[in-house]
Amino acid sequence: MPDTRPRRTFAVISHPDAGKSTLTEALALHARVITEAGAVHGKGDRRATVSDWMAMEKARGISITSAALQFVYRDHVINLVDTPGHSDFSEDTYRVLSAVDSAVMLVDAGKGLEPQTLKLFKVCALRGIPVMTVINKWDRPGLSALELMDLIQEKIKLRPTPLTWPVGEAGDFRGVLDRRTGEFVKYTRTAGGATRAPERRMAADEVDEIDAALWADAVEEHELLGLDEADHDQDRFLAGETTPVMFASALQNFGVAQLLDLLLDIAPDPSPTEGVDGSVRKVEDDFSAFVFKVQSGMNNAHRDRLAYARVVSGAFERGMVVTHASTGRPFATKFAQSVFGRDTQSVETAEPGDIIGFVNAQSLRVGDTVYVGDPIEYPPVPSFAPEHFVTASAGDIGRYKQFRRGIEQLDQEGVVQVLRSDLRGDQNPVLAAVGPMQFEVVEDRMTNEFNSPIRFSRLDYQVARRTDAAGAAALAGVRGVEVLQRSDGTYLALFVDQWRAMVTARDNPDLMLEALPAGGS
Ligand code: GDP
């Protein structure tokens, strides 16, 4: 029987060490996990679901690949889509966010808004994804709650609308004032946070003597917030003008059930989606999905290739024959998985909002649509402005064939952007990345998976602008700029620096030189 309970599909955006793994575990503890997809990447043995298909991943203790965790809470099915946790940026991180309906911004109370959080937030803003904020680690000394509200307002220009307000400053966490009900949710420490932290709710007149003074402070601040347009407004939240805020300690499991309740209460449902031709697919229409990530090399013995797709509309059933929009060809979904780590499990049915992995999906690329019924094609997943460029060459010229095949594969997966020009020829493609770690992934996979060592040589470009064939012709031979073509056909003009890009645009007002969405460092 298909599980048609309502869905919530979200991602946690945070800077490394803010507590994303801890929160993920705590969420799973509160809910009933249906499938675990290696979403919890570990730094210790306690976390057994490491998606460690890549030695590099293990060595660094980070999750380079993205996965999803599915669980049931109350009457909902929740899909938590993992974002890679390393401080370096890869394009993967961004693409994951195209698969979610909302995001939870996890902030370390002691550190405030850190760089990676801000970058990920920008992507959410660009895509119109509503963001809820969780101030984590309130059990430890940190900034004041009001300081944190100011930081949010200042740095991301969203109006913070706290739904809970801490009773006790950071490091003296007594509980929170639930601003919607006026109750005191008292926090009780448990040993190591191993079990659900008991949260005791009480009315204002039941607050113990020992918490009375801090409670009074919280009430006062809560009233001030009310005068300051800082109350939750669902429309403004969905419009991306405000961010509801909660205070928590993921390690102590405090605030975690509140977060789940919040997700159910205010986070958006999967919604109708517009195709490139302007037609709209409603969630209850025929099945359709788009691929937001392709991954291979999970198993060295046989090179399987997984394409992760987010269901946009309709019910999916394993075995269904769907149409691949970009080729018009049928695609059999005999092998569909719900688990993306090592331990795989087939998925029988899926609903809008769910993430499915298609096995051996050689033809599926990032951004592709699959559907049944009326044709639909979703807009491409945006690619971000690369800021790091190298030329690549085969480390062993005798293995040039493997080199070519590897580059083509990694290009299709979107591991890096591959740029070419007649001038440079095919032997030395230019690789462009949002974050330099993408090159390390290329190096690792070329060596271990495609048996073709690769050599890079750094190029001095820093800025890319989108141009067209006319721009390519006009800029040929101009100093400090080179035009190359990406495999999706886009022309990119590469400049040594911002200044050169600016001057070129100023001197050639008729040329198309568009900025791409900014990404990396
Ligand atoms: P990630 O890099 O964002 O996945 O962060 P982790 O979940 O691995 O947490 C980083 C560190 O912060 C670990 O040592 C956690 O035990 C600790 N931590 C996470 N949440 C809390 C919290 O609420 N309170 C305290 N005191 N420590 C926390």
Q: What's the one-letter identity of residue 305?
A: R
Phi/psi at 192 (5° precision): 65, 5
Is ipTM beyond 0.85? yes
Is 294 within 8 Å of 411 (Cβ atoms)? no
The pLDDT tens digits along the chain (521 residues) read: 788 899 999 999 999 899 998 898 888 777 766 554 433 433 333 333 333 334 434 443 333 344 678 888 989 999 998 876 555 566 777 788 999 999 999 999 999 999 889 988 988 998 899 999 999 999 999 999 999 999 999 999 999 999 999 999 999 999 999 999 999 999 887 665 455 556 889 999 999 999 999 999 999 999 999 888 899 999 999 999 999 999 999 988 889 989 999 999 999 999 999 999 999 999 999 999 999 888 765 555 445 677 889 999 999 988 899 999 999 999 888 766 654 444 455 677 899 999 888 877 778 888 899 999 999 999 987 777 899 999 999 999 899 999 999 999 888 888 899 999 988 888 899 999 988 888 988 998 899 889 999 999 999 999 999 999 999 999 998 888 999 999 888 999 999 999 999 999 999 999 999 988 765 44
Write the DSSP string, 90-110.
Answer: -HHHHHHGGG-SEEEEEEETT
Strand partners, 176: 166, 185
Give buried/exposed letters for 95-122 (b at 16+ CB in 10 A, else e). bbbbbbbbbbbbbbbeebbbebbebbbe
CA of 126 to the centre of ligand 1 (A): 28
CA of 192 to the centre of ligand 1 (A): 12
Atom of ligand 1 nearest to the CA of 140: 26
Pocket test for ligand 1, best of 251, 252, 254 (most atoms within 8 A of CB): 251
Count CB-CB contacts under 10 A for residue 208.
Answer: 11
Phi/psi at 49 (5° precision): -100, 35
Ligand 1 contacts CB of residue 42 (under 6 A): no
| Helix (H/G/I), strand (E/B), else coil: 323 | strand
Domains of the chain: 7-36+63-269 (3.40.50.300), 274-371 (2.40.30.10), 388-515 (3.30.70.3280)
Ligand 1 contacts CB of residue 17 (under 6 A): yes
Phi/psi at 358 (5° precision): -90, 125
Strand partners, 295: 306
CA of 136 to the centre of ligand 1 (A): 9
CA of 22 to the centre of ligand 1 (A): 6
Is 261 within 8 Å of 216 (Cβ atoms)? no
Nearest CA to ligand 1 atom 6: 19
Distance CA 402, CA 513 (A): 35
